[in-house]
């Protein structure tokens, strides 16, 4: 049997940290050697359902402990502004990093500081490879630092970027109307204590500007109107994108672009009907559907994915697989629907 890749998770108590463990539990070529949080405890006390990892302790992070664990790759599953504290030391220790947060996604430091906070590791931003495998596969294979894309961003980019690259749609008047399950808002909002606030409810939020907006615009190379909504469900995203096709563009041309781009991709499916979240929850798949509106003045592209898998932890593992020369779908292709 081939030697397993040794990995660590920094930020194990969050939803994406837990999702990483769910996937690693059945990844045949990965060994989880260390996990970290602000306070030390037994991992089995935190997640008793992960029997495979019951022997692990949750430790307070130190670079010395990380090196001693033998980890070859660290997954950082922390809120924005925290990864930049750890990345320089981890990379200096010759350990690869997949950052699930936002600290290294935006190449424009001024944009990051406008939407987030002051960046204290700006010199490392140019070293980061944006981890959307469907567009940056070759760069990911040789990367030391991966900036794992956001969940809203992944759905919108996969839906829109191929059409912009093919010059089939106008770069003006792009609308992304996206709905996310509550897990996308993090552990605190998703908790039982907050459940009564979002059950049997539905609302838009951050209508005047969401932090994922500049990341989508960076990816597709166009300005957009982006409105996120919170669905009263646990997980999943549907992004409905309203686009203006260039004069004379046909449905056959749109389909040809999507099929050529995604027909050989492991985790993107182009459908002939509108996607249903139930079909992909818990998996690493994105499903895409397109149609024209009744007046044929708008192209509507719908992308559906699970915000915790393809929108976060599954995509991070997809990136890791490429970084270490594994099959891209290792540990991901047989994930069960939730």
Burial class (CB in 10 A: 0-12, 13-18, 19+), 137: middle
Domain with CATH 3.30.360.10 in the chain: 151-307
CA distance 249 to 242: 15
Q: Which of 214, 209, 212 minimizes the C-alpha distance to 101?
A: 212
The 10s digit of each residue's pLDDT in 193-227 is 456 676 778 889 889 999 999 999 999 999 999 99
pTM of the model: 0.95
CA distance 96 to 144: 5
Mean pLDDT to the nearest integer, 229-233: 91
Distances (CA, A) of 41 to 28, 56, 59, 66: 26, 9, 7, 17
Cβ of 95: how many Cβ atoms within 10 Å? 21
**Strands in 163-292 per DSSP E:** 174-180, 203-204, 224-230, 237-243, 268-270, 286-292
pLDDT at position 179 over 50 = yes
DSSP code per residue over 61-97: --HHHHHHHT-SEEEE---TTTHHHHHHHHHHTT-EE
The 10s digit of each residue's pLDDT in 37-68 is 999 999 999 999 999 999 999 999 999 999 99
Domain with CATH 3.40.50.720 in the chain: 5-149+311-323
CATH topology of domain 151-307: Dihydrodipicolinate Reductase; domain 2 (3.30.360)
What 3-state DSSP class applies to 17?
helix
Burial class (CB in 10 A: 0-12, 13-18, 19+), 55: exposed
CATH topology of domain 5-149+311-323: Rossmann fold (3.40.50)
Which positions are annotated as active-site residues?
A: 151
DSSP 234: S
């Amino acid at each position: 049997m081939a030697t397993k890749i040794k990995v660590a998770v920094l930020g194990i108590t969050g939803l994406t940290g837990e999702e990483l463990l769910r996937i690693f539990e059945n990844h045949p070529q990965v060994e989880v050697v260390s996990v970290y949080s602000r306070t030390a405890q037994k991992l089995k006390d935190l997640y008793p359902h992960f029997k495979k990892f019951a022997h692990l302790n949750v430790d307070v992070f130190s670079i010395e402990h990380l090196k001693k664990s033998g980890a070859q790759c660290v997954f950082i599953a922390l809120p924005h502004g925290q990864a930049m504290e750890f990345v320089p030391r981890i990379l200096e220790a010759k350990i690869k990093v997949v950052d699930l947060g936002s600290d290294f996604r935006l190449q424009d430091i001024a944009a990051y500081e406008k939407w987030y906070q002051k960046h204290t590791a700006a010199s490392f931003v140019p070293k980061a490879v944006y981890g959307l495998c469907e567009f940056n596969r070759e760069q990911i294979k040789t990367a030391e630092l991966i900036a794992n894309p956001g969940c809203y961003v992944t759905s919108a980019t996969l839906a829109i970027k191929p059409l912009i690259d093919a010059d089939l749609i106008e770069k003006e008047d792009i609308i992304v109307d996206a709905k996310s399950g509550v897990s996308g808002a993090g552990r605190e909002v998703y908790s039982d204590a907050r459940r009564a606030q979002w059950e049997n409810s539905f609302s838009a939020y951050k209508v005047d500007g969401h932090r994922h907006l500049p990341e989508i615009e960076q990816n597709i190379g166009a300005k957009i109107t982006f409105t996120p909504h919170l669905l009263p469900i646990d997980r999943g995203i549907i992004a409905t994108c309203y686009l203006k096709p260039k004069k004379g563009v046909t449905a056959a041309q749109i389909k040809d672009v999507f099929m050529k781009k995604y027909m050989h991709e492991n985790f993107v499916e182009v459908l002939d009907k509108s996607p249903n979240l139930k079909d992909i929850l818990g998996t690493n798949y994105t499903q895409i559907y397109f149609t024209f509106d009744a007046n044929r003045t708008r192209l509507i592209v719908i992308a559906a994915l699970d915000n915790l898998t393809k929108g976060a932890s599954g995509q991070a593992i997809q990136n890791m697989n490429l970084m270490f020369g594994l099959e891209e779908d290792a540990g991901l292709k047989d994930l069960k629907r939730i």
